[in-house]
């Protein structure tokens, strides 16, 4: 029968401190990489969210003008875009811009939509050229068409 020393039996029973430290260091590096990648994903998501909000607001204005057979308008009031009926000012839909986002369009009437669902050309001409929106450090130039389509240049 082969005898083993008591010290040898103890060391094979579990993990050493060094092994635990190596595992913890590997986990810390992995979590750090995930945190950095996650921050970038969240930032890009916030950027796209602001652009999508403006696209939806313009599209809703054109759609509601076509569906209801009345002129509608897109109005900006601070961080809120609202689609209203032009005749009586009834708010049909509101859209909140992301906190910290900037849009280079003044408060007040932004666009007017006519019943076939198109943008009134005179209101389109009143927009700044280019329309820009800044969110989470990125700036986008937007182009609005006569049919209420908003594209990123």
Instruction: Give the CATH number of domain 44-152; options: 3.55.40.10, 2.60.40.290, 3.40.50.150, 3.40.50.80.
Output: 3.55.40.10
pLDDT at 13: 67
pTM for the structure as a whole: 0.71
pLDDT at 115: 92
Range 3-21 average pLDDT: 70
List helix spans (H) across 1-153: 6-11, 17-68, 121-125
**End-to-end alpha carbon distance in the chain:** 82
């Amino acid at each position: 029968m082969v005898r083993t020393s008591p010290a040898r039996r103890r060391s094979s029973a579990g993990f050493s401190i060094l092994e635990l430290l190596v595992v913890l260091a590997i986990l810390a590096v992995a979590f750090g990489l995930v945190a950095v990648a996650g921050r970038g994903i969240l930032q890009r998501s916030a950027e796209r969210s602001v652009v999508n909000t403006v696209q939806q607001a313009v599209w809703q204005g054109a759609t509601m003008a076509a569906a209801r057979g009345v002129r509608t308008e897109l109005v900006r009031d601070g961080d809120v875009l609202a689609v209203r009926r032009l005749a009586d000012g009834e708010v049909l839909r509101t859209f909140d811009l992301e906190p910290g986002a900037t849009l280079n369009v003044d408060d007040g009437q932004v666009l007017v939509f006519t019943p076939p669902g198109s943008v009134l050309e005179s209101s389109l001409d009143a927009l700044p050229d280019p329309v820009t929106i800044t969110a989470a450090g990125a700036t986008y130039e937007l182009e609005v068409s006569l049919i209420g389509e908003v594209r990123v240049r």
